[in-house]
Amino acid sequence: AQKITQTQPGMFVQEKEAVTLDCTYDTSDPSYGLFWYKQPSSGEMIFLIYQGSYDQQNATEGRYSLNFQKARKSANLVISASQLGDSAMYFCAMREAQGGSEKLVFGKGTKLTVNP
């Protein structure tokens, strides 16, 4: 079974509008972390936002916020006021604490295109 599922291969949004990128996860570990990374066409992986499984509030970082619904096992990324520079691949990732694992498990990604 997939640990991280990103069901949207591609998304389009108009500049200045908000967009939600979906991510669902599968784990039986009560302690885990969820991450979003941005990968522009240049290839680098840029950390955007982190949500811990025990965090009471949804994480926010500037225009990025994470809509964390623990019971539904979803961690959707919300980008407000989209900019042309937001066009990129976006990856959701999870790290499970069980067994002291340090690895991140990534989803397949969503390609976001921001239209002027």
- 78 contacts other proteins (rule: CB under 8 A): no
Q: Which is nearer to other proteins, 50 or 64 (CB)?
A: 50
Stretch that binds other proteins, among 19-27, 32-40, 55-63, 80-88 (CB under 8 A): 32-40
What Cα–Cα distance (Å) separates residue 10 from each residue in 6, 67, 104? 10, 19, 22
- 43 contacts other proteins (rule: CB under 8 A): yes
Question: Which amino acid is residue 72, in one-letter code?
Answer: R
What Cα–Cα distance (Å) separates residue 77 from each residue in 30, 98, 100? 21, 25, 26
| Smallest distance from other proteins to CB 73, Å | 19
Using the rule CB under 8 A, which residue among 95, 110, 112, 114 binds other proteins? 95
User: Which residue, chain included where needed, has tokens 């996860």?
Assistant: 25
Say if residues 39 and 109 touch (Cβ distance below 8 Å): yes
Using the rule CB under 8 A, which residue among 15, 47, 60, 62 binds other proteins? 47
Say if residues 78 and 89 touch (Cβ distance below 8 Å): no
- 77 contacts other proteins (rule: CB under 8 A): no
Where along the sequence are the contacts to other proteins (CB under 8 A)?
A: 33, 35, 37, 42-47, 50, 91, 93, 95, 97, 100-109
